[in-house]
Structure 1
Amino acid sequence: MKILNQNKYLNNIFITLLFSCFKLNGMAQTVSIKDLPRVSIDQTVNTSANSSFEKLINEIHNFNNYPSLDKFTGEHIFFMQDSVFGNVPFKLYIPENYDPSQRHTVILLLHGAVGQSKFSDAENSKVQPDDDPFYSKLCNSNFIVVKPFADPGKGFDWAANSFGGSKNYTFSTLENIIYELKKTINFDDSKVFVFGHSDGSDGAFAFDLYKPTIFAGMIAYNSKLSNIFAHDLYIANAVNRPLRLVHSDKDDIRPIQQTRDIVKILDSLHVPLEYKEYFGYTHEDKHLDIDYPNSIKFITNTFRNPYPKQLYWETSNSLFEGLSWIEVNSWDLNLPRAAWHKIFNLKAYNKKMQSYFPFDYYKLDESAAIKAEIHNNTINILTSRITKFTLLISPKMLDLNKQISVVVNNKELFKKLVKPDKNFYLGQLKKSQDKSIVWVNSITINLVN
């Protein structure tokens, strides 16, 4: 973990898109979805039986035949029709020099003050400047910026859970926005980040624990590292992605004492964490401007590893079923927890009394967990309460000319050749539009007799 103190004086949801777009210096106008150029990679490349599998994979990996977006550069408002939340608005910024033949870094920016936000704010944003402390900075840094509008009245909230403590569908909808935009914009799949301040940083941290697969890393400023009313924030999941945290000691909304206690736990778990503190600054203060160049360095130097050799995943609901090459299909919470399956929690800090409450900070449901590690052509698995799981297989991480062995809780349960399946690969591609990931088959292990 890198720490720096600085003084003040230094879902498989079917989606359709409706668009209302505008330039920053122009008038609003309605644009039909038919007017927006889109491409689906799986329907564009040569998938005929005569085409070799290896050639197909290379063609998709190098695909850059995206449409021109000259008419759509600058700032626009989009509405995505979602089966849970209805029309979900988000702001999209595309740099004027966008080149469809080149891959681009994309930032999912989650705004703060979620409790005051409504979907109708999207209309007001056409005539009012954006008040997020990082939006203009990220646009001026030439990133593609996706900035959704929250609406807690509808349950679309990344800072609090409106669904009885579990299954917050907000994160699945945000993930689907990214999937759909990949049909229009040439994403660099290894350079997608989630970024936020205050309530937005709580959403960024929650993404780290809920759905990290598509992201290279998370950046969170002045976060409480929690999600109100959520019962499924298992912080050990943070080991899977780089996380950048920034806090200020005069923050009277999110006390730094609580943050420091959580950082100690994250550090003990060997989370890839960069943590910085600024002294003499409040919740939203000049430290945000001072520190921003450090986040640019983090974005520049951080790349998603599509095939990590080690994974850990803990869950208690089917929305957050896994990451990367692990999918947890079912579990039984009546089974005993494995000895290595620890509960990580801490006491809540009382900022007014400057002492600790006699109750836990995280209100956690019982969970199931899985640990996985690849060594040569063997996948070693440890499970806790898991009854069924699926492993996605790639020639980029295993030798498919040799048998693949799956050892679960010290017992070999699978040892066979796994053949590449073109249709399986194309099915995965259709869902994610991810050019850099190659999943060619899967292995499902059922632990129930």
Structure 2
Amino acid sequence: MRYCMTMLLVLLGYCAEAQNYSVLADKASELMDNAKDEAGYKKALDLYEEAFRMYPENKDGEGVYNASILASKLKNNDKAFQYLMSLSSIKGEGYNFPGWNYILEEDAEKEYKNLLSDPRWKTLKQKATGYKKQFYEELQKKENEFFSINKNTLKNKGNVAELYKEIRNFNPYQSKKDRDYSIPFKINDSAKTSFFIHLPQHYDPQKKYTLLFFLHGAVRNNELIDYQLAGWNLGGWNRYYTKYADQNDVILVFPRADKQYNWMLSDDGFFMIPEMLKQIKRALNIDDNKVFVAGHSNGATGSFSYLMKQSTQFAGFYGFNTYPKVFTGGTFVENIKNRSFINFSTDEDYYYPSNANDDFTKLMKSFAADYQEYRYNGFPHWFPQFDASEPAYNIIFNDLKNRKRNPFPKEISWEFDDNKNGNVDWISNIKLDTLSKNYKANKELNFKINKWLVYDDNDSLKVKDVDKNAFDFPRKSGKIKAEYRNNVFRAETSNIQSFSINISPEAVDLNEKVKVYINGKLYFDEKINYNHEYLLENFNKTQDREQVWINHIDVKV
């Protein structure tokens, strides 16, 4: 635990005077990790205490925690408890965990084995338990306030046309007391995580806001946690997200994932971002046509995966040091034609090589995808750590300002290999037919990667020869191409069993018949009326006030 928290501080970093404190604290931490006897522990403790004396305003929970462990190892119980008592009441400001966490976490009794027989240890744990209870009570109070809305339920449930208009203009939102909220999120009966939200300075519930998800990397090495603190998300590597979001009145959302429940390695957690978005829309006035996803490393791969598999709710996607591949199925790159992606790559990236990025860009250009890549030379995989990354954030936020989702695109192209991903805009509930005797394999777009960068034992980058496909296609896929104009829908399908066409008064003239042609044959030729049940069902499912469906046409191919 101590190692993980130290790494968190190193990665996030401080600024100005805090950098001087962190230099001393990092050196003390290094001495502590390498200490083998009391002399080594004393050197580390002396350096921590020098940092505390020189920079008292920057003294943090991590430093106090390590100092208390060192004092315990040196059997200086009075000093250890002095540090621990001050630590226990820390609420977690800045970049630290709450103080009670250090005392109550699983490894605490191993770290403080010299203190367990001291009666002060029991008193300390009792106080820490009280602080923990108080911490969660305050979190619950803030969560309740965050989700509080006006009791403005939908009223026109008898008149479906009026209900549609009411949904389109629905606004039950209230002002918020704070800018930062940590919200718990239930994954299933045995797992829960959280997402952290940062609001514009003067959030106005009467105004619709752009929202940007940031997906963190290193999902294999992260743990789910049911709360988050501002310092974990708004500084360090994410400082430019915070800077430009504040300048542009953009709401930031930071979900937390782990090895099992994430947006890249497993489908177990892939539902999290759409579900979090739905919950947020119940509390905040979000512009449904301006919701975006960004990420770094594994998070960038996650952003790309939502583009490939579940793009409907989003307007655009961004990635720093992206590995552009779906790891849980086929990568059907033509799906990008429904949205856009901007990638920021570096030439010294071990995660995905620049030669592969070049070939990927060529592939994107071959079918005129809305794809841009910006290459930054001389930087490693952790590019966002550097000040030189700031121009990339300018690019992102300029794109955010100018880009909107088209909720009713005239043309759709969608390929998938899992029925859970059979939805895109006005085409929904697409079901595969891969067992038919008439199954015909769809054309695979792919390329070979023959060079990869790896670090050797001396932490130097070397070029390694490889022979791998850019994408894998482990399952049979289905594909649909559809368009509509003047109340006429046309769809061409491959390996599709059935699907639904969703109807909106914004796209269809309800006074005229709607025609549907499937693979060149007339399938449907009737007027469409409002469907009360379907209207409410879909709004409750998405909380989307722009892409509102009043009925649907079920199609069996």
- The one-letter code sitting in structure 2 at the alignment partner of 1:61 is R
Given the alignment, which residue of 338, 355, 366 partners 1:268? 366
CA contact (8 A) 2:413 2:482 kept: yes
Work out the CA distance in 1 between the residues paired with 2:507 and 2:338.
Answer: 17
1:1-80 maps to which residues of 2 (within 5 A)? 28=135, 29-32=138-141, 34-39=144-149, 44-49=153-158, 51=159, 53=161, 55-70=162-177, 73-80=178-185
Work out the CA distance in 1 between the residues paired with 2:471 and 2:299.
Answer: 19
Q: Structure 1 311/129 Cα, relative in aligned 2: closer, same or farther at 3 Å? A: closer
Deviations 1:330-389 (A, max 9, x none): 2221344558x3211111343147576333221212211111011222111010000111
Which residue number in structure 2 is paired with residue 373 of structure 1? 483
Given the alignment, which residue of 196, 203, 211 partners 1:98? 203
- The one-letter code sitting in structure 1 at the alignment partner of 2:305 is A
Which residue number in structure 1 is paired with residue 526 of structure 2? 416
Which residue number in structure 1 is paired with residue 130 of structure 2? none
Which residue number in structure 2 is paired with residue 439 of structure 1? 549
Work out the CA distance in 1 between the residues paired with 2:355 and 2:547.
Answer: 40
Q: TM-score, normalised by structure 2?
A: 0.69
Which residue number in structure 2 is paired with residue 221 of structure 1? 320
Query: What's the CA shift for 1:85?
Result: 6.5
Write 1 or 2 for the structure with the bigger share of helix. 2
Q: TM-score, normalised by structure 1?
A: 0.84
Which residue number in structure 2 is paired with residue 15 of structure 1? none
Work out the CA distance in 2 between the residues paired with 1:334 and 1:251.
Answer: 41
Q: Structure 1 234/52 Cα, relative in aligned 2: closer, same or farther at 3 Å? A: closer
Query: Secondary structure at the residue paired with 1:88?
Result: strand
Number of matched residues?
A: 412
- The one-letter code sitting in structure 2 at the alignment partner of 1:44 is T
Q: Which runs of 5+ in 1 are unaligned?
A: 1-20, 162-167
1:334 aligned to 2:443? no
Which residue number in structure 1 is paired with residue 286 of structure 2? 187
Query: What's the CA shift for 1:421?
Result: 1.8
Which residue number in structure 1 is paired with residue 117 of structure 2? none
Which residue number in structure 1 is paired with residue 354 of structure 2? 256
CA contact (8 A) 2:184 2:227 kept: no
Deviations 1:179-202 (A, max 9, x none): 011110010111110011221111
Q: Structure 1 396/332 Cα, relative in aligned 2: closer, same or farther at 3 Å? A: same
Work out the CA distance in 1 between the residues paired with 2:352 and 2:203.
Answer: 38
Q: Structure 1 85/204 Cα, relative in aligned 2: closer, same or farther at 3 Å? A: farther
Q: Structure 1 24/439 Cα, relative in aligned 2: closer, same or farther at 3 Å? A: farther
1:284 aligned to 2:284? no
CA contact (8 A) 1:338 1:383 kept: no
Give the stretch that moved more between structures: 234-243 or 184-193. Answer: 234-243
Deviations 1:58-110 (A, max 9, x none): 3332333302212xx22222111122772121111122311111111111110
Write 1 or 2 for the structure with the bigger share of strand. 1
Deviations 1:292-320 (A, max 9, x none): 11111100000010000100111111221
- The one-letter code sitting in structure 2 at the alignment partner of 1:361 is A
Give the stretch that moved more between structures: 191-200 or 273-282. Answer: 273-282
Give the stretch that moved more between structures: 295-304 or 277-286. Answer: 277-286
Which residue number in structure 2 is paired with residue 398 of structure 1? 508
Given the alignment, which residue of 310, 323, 326 partners 1:211? 310
Query: Secondary structure at the residue paired with 2:493?
Result: strand
Which residue number in structure 2 is paired with residue 11 of structure 1? none
Q: Structure 1 443/318 Cα, relative in aligned 2: closer, same or farther at 3 Å? A: same
Which residue number in structure 2 is paired with residue 3 of structure 1? none
Work out the CA distance in 2 between the residues paired with 1:385 and 1:52.
Answer: 36
- The one-letter code sitting in structure 1 at the alignment partner of 2:371 is L
- The one-letter code sitting in structure 2 at the alignment partner of 1:137 is K
Which residue number in structure 1 is paired with residue 336 of structure 2? 238
Q: Structure 1 40/363 Cα, relative in aligned 2: closer, same or farther at 3 Å? A: farther
CA contact (8 A) 1:347 1:356 kept: no
Q: Structure 1 381/431 Cα, relative in aligned 2: closer, same or farther at 3 Å? A: same
Which residue number in structure 2 is paired with residue 357 of structure 1? 466
Deviations 1:6-39 (A, max 9, x none): xxxxxxxxxxxxxxx9886998433155444444
Query: What's the CA shift for 1:208?
Result: 0.2
1:151 aligned to 2:252? no
Work out the CA distance in 2 between the residues paired with 1:376 and 1:182.
Answer: 32
Query: What's the CA shift for 1:47?
Result: 1.8
1:343 aligned to 2:444? yes
Given the alignment, which residue of 191, 196, 204 partners 1:86? 191
CA contact (8 A) 1:406 1:413 kept: yes
Query: Secondary structure at the residue paired with 1:350?
Result: strand
Query: Secondary structure at the residue paired with 1:185?
Result: coil
Which residue number in structure 2 is paired with residue 304 of structure 1? 405
CA contact (8 A) 1:380 1:408 kept: yes
Work out the CA distance in 2 between the residues paired with 1:263 and 1:278.
Answer: 15
Q: Structure 1 127/144 Cα, relative in aligned 2: closer, same or farther at 3 Å? A: closer
Work out the CA distance in 2 between the residues paired with 1:90 and 1:34.
Answer: 15
Work out the CA distance in 2 between the residues paired with 1:184 and 1:363.
Answer: 39
Give the stretch that moved more between structures: 168-177 or 116-125. Answer: 116-125
CA contact (8 A) 1:307 1:324 kept: yes
Query: What is the RMSD of the two structures over their aligned residues, measured on CA atoms?
Result: 2.7
CA contact (8 A) 1:40 1:183 kept: no
CA contact (8 A) 1:111 1:132 kept: no
Give the stretch that moved more between structures: 138-147 or 387-396. Answer: 138-147
Query: Secondary structure at the residue paired with 1:280?
Result: strand
1:196 aligned to 2:305? no
Deviations 1:259-308 (A, max 9, x none): 12112212222221222222333323344212211111100000010000
Q: Structure 1 324/206 Cα, relative in aligned 2: closer, same or farther at 3 Å? A: same
Q: Structure 1 406/84 Cα, relative in aligned 2: closer, same or farther at 3 Å? A: farther
CA contact (8 A) 1:224 1:258 kept: no
Which residue number in structure 2 is paired with residue 8 of structure 1? none
Work out the CA distance in 2 between the residues paired with 1:399 and 1:317.
Answer: 33
Query: Secondary structure at the residue paired with 2:311?
Result: coil
Query: What's the CA shift for 1:423?
Result: 2.8
